[in-house]
Amino acid sequence: MRLIRTLLVLAVLSAFAAPASADITGFIGTNTTPSNRAARGVAIGAGLAVIAFEFEYSSTSEDLDEGAPSLHTGMGNVLL
């Protein structure tokens, strides 16, 4: 009975959920190869009626003790 009640509440809440909208998103994570290091980044997006753009950048610092190099990545997307 508890499971049914939980599923019913989730169904009702998802029926009234508003779409997510974010223009700038910051994120953190881990880079685990070859050693554990923090990865930080930002994603920026904008959309018009028919076309949208998104750009992402992430950076991981180097760890000289473990011999782990720094890593910088970037990505761009165009959605039509």
Omega prior to 19 cis, within 30 of 0: no
Residue 34 has pLDDT above 90, yes or no: no
Q: Average pLDDT over the chain, rounded to whole?
A: 90
Q: Is 48 exposed, middle or buried (0-12, 13-18, 19+ CB in 10 A)?
A: exposed
Write down the pLDDT at residue 15: 83
pTM given for the model:
0.65
What per-residue confidence (pLDDT) applies to 18? Answer: 76
* Mean pLDDT (whole number) for 51-56: 94
Q: What is the token pair recorded at 9?
A: 């509440």
Q: Residue 49 is which amino acid?
A: A
Cα separation of the two ends of the chain: 45
Q: How confident is the model at residue 20 (pLDDT cuts 50, 70, 90)?
A: low
Domain boundaries of the chain, sorted by first residue: 19-79
At 66 the pLDDT is 87
